[in-house]
RNA sequence: CGGGGCAUGGCGCAGUCUGGUAGCGCACUUCGCUGGGGGUGAAGGGGUCGUAGGUUCGAAUCCUACUGUUCCGACCA
């Protein structure tokens, strides 16, 4: 393609509202433009990239045996009412009415539609298992869209759904989707990790997320230094400490801690480490109006996902109001402790393992020190309530955990029969009886993958596309073509030659000054650059530069196809 | 939802405090010189100063309301 025929909408300056690097570079390279909060137009150059990502996804879905279809982006409320999600989904669901006053939503996901469809169209066990996928625009009315395309409201998603008679078949498709996802992200050239994940409100047996590793990632993932174990921190189990609790030597005493509320303040005031304190957090219990105390070590954090799974605790996890706190323990936030509490107490394994600790005294401005379980208060009921931290033992017993940041680009679930039951999706089984289908669902945030890729591959000049996602594989820049008919003709001929040889090539025929052309192409991130100038032409040579490592070389024009193929690894 | 910032040409910003009819850089158009990492000179085009009210002889500037947008928070014991 000729650059004079593609919109090259590069920006010299960084737009003020772009915070993270991928957002800045997508705007600067002219891949996208913002229309409204969380809504973006894909410009031609950006769309080329998006289509390449889509193509990879399509190929791997097809070879994993999934069939492509396309469902409407607008869905009737009725379907969502049947599964109960019309009420449950909350304000993220964009609801709308047509001219007759019928209610619809803009689909944030398509479980309802596909389940309904399969329930109608698939009648016999002989047609199973079956997997469908689509690449469709979704809309989720995020509380706070941010980071450009990373957390946009409208985004492009590949979603696949599989249908089965039994768990074994579901597991098989799940495994092949897992493999297909790995293949997809490998082909894109991404540094990624599959991790065990929480199934969230959807429920189900198994779930994995695929994360692109990047320091700007919104998720924390834990992985073992020695084994294959990897999990979202939301899920990663914090094992009980191996060592025995130290003996209770200190005497429990009441200490004044005026106006010291946070763990940090108390620790500084008493000159102790946060690990010697415990913090007590009051949350709503699962019974209406009840309150439960959660106890963790001072240097740890509550894991909401784990906590709300506890039968005593209300989901979603809700912290108590100041009034409830005062009523339950007689002190306000900052002075709560487990000693003498009459409400149910759940203690994290690590917090249960410390001795001679400091905690709130349930009296404002007072803490206890030298407190010990089984002496000053009963031996506690323990639970896993905290986020794992780096250095914790790996839950599989091998190695210790490390923590990294990740961008979630894919998520696969075993849904079971949650949706099929409610939408009555069943088939006749071999026995002649009708049977509810069991389901899996598999998503990839295609537009997010693009942003994640840029987070991983850029430098101070711009984007450095992995070959598989680059808008063009090669760019040909003629230098000073305006001055020389010979050069113009040679450049045209070379362009045609490379086109015929099957390269995905951009011919920069804009006639810009070399500096401008180079800067634009570096910003856009085309992996391989050929430069044709008078100098080289005299010797029948063309210059080559690699975007990723900056290496330069020169080779004969006659040899250019061979040389490029070598560098493109084809 | 709570708190803060911002809104002036396509982009980045100044001007607002102290009211007098809008400016800079980049980009864009034309012409010249130049031509291997965002060159240069000249001449141009482009702005209801977010919207609506109000104060005033006069409002980008002061007041009120609204809208948009963005950042932080919604893990706090």
For chain A, domain boundaries: 3-205+410-454, 253-383, 474-568
CB A248 within 8 A of CB A448: no
**CATH fold of the domain at A3-205+410-454:** BirA Bifunctional Protein; domain 2 (3.30.930)
- Could you report the per-residue pLDDT of A450-466, keeping only the tens digit for each? 999 999 999 999 999 99
Q: pLDDT-derived band of residue A204, with 50, 70 and 90 as boundaries? A: low
The rounded distance, in Å, linking the Cα atoms of A278 and A441 is 41
In this prediction, residues A242-270 reach a mean pLDDT of 87
| The pLDDT value given to residue A506 | 97
Pick from A570, A560, A544: nearest CA to A499: A560
More confident call, A205 vs A250: A250
The rounded distance, in Å, linking the Cα atoms of A51 and A69 is 17
- Categorise residue A466: left if φ over 0, alpha if ψ from -120 to 50, beta otherwise: beta
Is residue A536 classed as helix, strand or coil in its secondary structure? Answer: helix
| The pLDDT value given to residue A202 | 60
CB A82 within 8 A of CB A424: no
Task: State whether the beta carbon of A38 lies below 7 angstroms from any atom of strand B.
Answer: yes
What's the DSSP call for residue A454? H
The rounded distance, in Å, linking the Cα atoms of A357 and A373 is 9
Query: Which 383-442 positions of A have CB less than 7 A from strand B?
Result: 387
CB A380 within 8 A of CB A195: no
Q: pLDDT-derived band of residue A474, with 50, 70 and 90 as boundaries? A: very high
CATH number of A474-568: 3.40.50.800
CATH number of A253-383: 3.90.960.10
The rounded distance, in Å, linking the Cα atoms of A14 and A197 is 36
CA of A148 to C1' of B59 (A): 37
In this prediction, residues A413-437 reach a mean pLDDT of 94
Is residue A241 classed as helix, strand or coil in its secondary structure? Answer: coil
CA angle A479, A482, A485 (to 5 degrees): 100
Task: State whether the beta carbon of A316 lies below 7 angstroms from any atom of strand B.
Answer: no
The nucleotides of chain B lying under 7 Å from a protein CB are 1, 11-13, 25-27, 34-39, 68-77
- Could you report the per-residue pLDDT of A303-320, keeping only the tens digit for each? 888 888 888 888 778 888
- Which of A404-408, A479-483, A524-528 is modeled with the greatest confidence? A524-528
Give helix then strand counts, H and E, for chain A.
Answer: 15, 30
In this prediction, residues A175-196 reach a mean pLDDT of 96
Compute CA A309 distance to the chain's CA centroid, rounded to the nearest angstrom. 22
Joined tokens for residue A258: 């005026």
Please tell me chain A's helix, strand, coil percentages from 3-state DSSP, rounded to the nearest 5: 30, 30, 40
CB A215 within 8 A of CB A229: no
Task: State whether the beta carbon of A280 lies below 7 angstroms from any atom of strand B.
Answer: yes
Name the nt closest to A552 by C-alpha to C1'.
Answer: B36
The rounded distance, in Å, linking the Cα atoms of A373 and A360 is 14
CA of A153 to C1' of B69 (A): 15
CA of A274 to C1' of B73 (A): 24
Task: State whether the beta carbon of A19 lies below 7 angstroms from any atom of strand B.
Answer: yes
Query: Which 514-543 positions of A have CB less than 7 A from strand B?
Result: 514-516, 518-520, 522-523, 531, 533-536, 543
Percent of chain A with pLDDT over 70: 99
In this prediction, residues A257-276 reach a mean pLDDT of 85
Task: State whether the beta carbon of A461 lies below 7 angstroms from any atom of strand B.
Answer: yes
Name the nt closest to A550 by C-alpha to C1'.
Answer: B37
| The pLDDT value given to residue A206 | 85
Task: State whether the beta carbon of A24 lies below 7 angstroms from any atom of strand B.
Answer: no
The rounded distance, in Å, linking the Cα atoms of A29 and A469 is 15
The rounded distance, in Å, linking the Cα atoms of A539 and A77 is 70
The rounded distance, in Å, linking the Cα atoms of A220 and A223 is 10
Pick from A404, A26, A391, A20: nearest CA to A215: A404
Assembly ipTM: 0.91
Locate all alpha helices (DSSP H) within A475-513, ordered by sequence. 485-500
């Amino acid at each position: 393609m000729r650059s004079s025929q593609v919109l090259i909408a590069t920006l010299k300056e960084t737009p003020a509202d772009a915070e993270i690097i991928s957002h800045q570079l997508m705007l600067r390279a002219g891949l996208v433009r913002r229309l409204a909060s969380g809504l973006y137009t894909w410009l031609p150059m950006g769309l080329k990239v998006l289509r390449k990502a889509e193509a990879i996804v399509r190929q791997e879905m097809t070879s994993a045996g999934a069939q492509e279809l396309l469902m409407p982006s607008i869905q009737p409320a009725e379907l969502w009412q049947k599964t109960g999600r019309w009420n449950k989904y909350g304000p993220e669901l964009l609801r709308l009415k047509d001219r007759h006053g019928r209610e619809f939503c803009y689909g944030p996901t398509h479980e309802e539609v596909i389940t309904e469809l399969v329930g109608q169209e698939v009648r016999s066990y002989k047609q199973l298992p079956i997997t469908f996928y689509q690449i469709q625009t979704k809309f989720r009315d995020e509380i706070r869209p941010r980071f450009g395309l990373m957390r946009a409201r409208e985004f492009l998603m590949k979603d696949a759904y599989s249908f089965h008679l039994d768990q074994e078949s579901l597991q098989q498709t799940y495994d092949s989707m897992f493999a297909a996802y790995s293949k997809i992200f490998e082909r894109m050239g991404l540094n990624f990790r599959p991790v065990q994940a929480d199934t969230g409100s959807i429920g189900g047996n198994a779930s994995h997320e695929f994360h692109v590793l990047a320091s700007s990632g919104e998720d924390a993932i834990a992985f073992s230094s020695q084994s294959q174990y990897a999990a979202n921190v939301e899920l990663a189990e914090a094992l009980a400490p191996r060592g025995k609790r130290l003996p209770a030597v200190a005497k429990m005493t009441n200490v004044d801690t005026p106006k010291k509320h946070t763990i940090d303040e108390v620790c500084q005031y008493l000159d102790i480490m946060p690990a010697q304190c415990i913090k007590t957090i009051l949350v709503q219990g699962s019974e209406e109006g009840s309150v439960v105390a959660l106890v963790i070590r001072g240097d740890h954090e509550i894991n909401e996902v784990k906590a709300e799974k506890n039968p005593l605790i209300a989901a979603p996890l809700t912290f108590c109001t100041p009034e409830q706190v005062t009523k339950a323990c007689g002190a306000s936030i900052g002075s709560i402790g487990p000693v003498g509490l009459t409400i149910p107490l759940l203690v994290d394994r690590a917090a249960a393992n410390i001795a001679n600790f400091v905690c709130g005294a349930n009296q404002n401005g007072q803490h206890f020190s030298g407190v010990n379980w089984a002496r000053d208060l009963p031996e506690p009921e323990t639970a896993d309530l905290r986020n794992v931290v780096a250095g914790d033992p790996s839950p599989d017993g091998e190695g210790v955990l490390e923590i990294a940041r990740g961008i979630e680009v894919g998520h696969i679930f075993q849904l079971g029969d949650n949706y099929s039951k409610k939408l009555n999706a069943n088939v006749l089984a071999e026995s002649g009886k009708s049977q509810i289908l069991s389901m899996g669902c598999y998503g990839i945030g295609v537009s997010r993958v693009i942003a994640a890729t840029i987070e991983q591959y850029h430098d101070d000049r711009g984007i450095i596309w992995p070959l598989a996602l680059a808008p063009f594989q090669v760019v040909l820049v003629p230098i000073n073509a305006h001055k020389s008919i010979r050069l113009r003709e040679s450049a045209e001929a070379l362009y045609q030659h490379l086109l015929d040889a099957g390269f995905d090539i951009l011919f920069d025929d804009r006639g810009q000054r070399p500096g401008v052309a180079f800067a634009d192409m570096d910003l856009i991130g085309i992996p391989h650059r050929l430069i044709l100038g008078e100098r080289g032409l005299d010797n029948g040579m063309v210059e080559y530069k690699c975007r990723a490592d900056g290496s330069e070389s020169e080779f004969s024009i006659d040899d250019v196809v061979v040389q490029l193929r070598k560098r493109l690894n084809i």
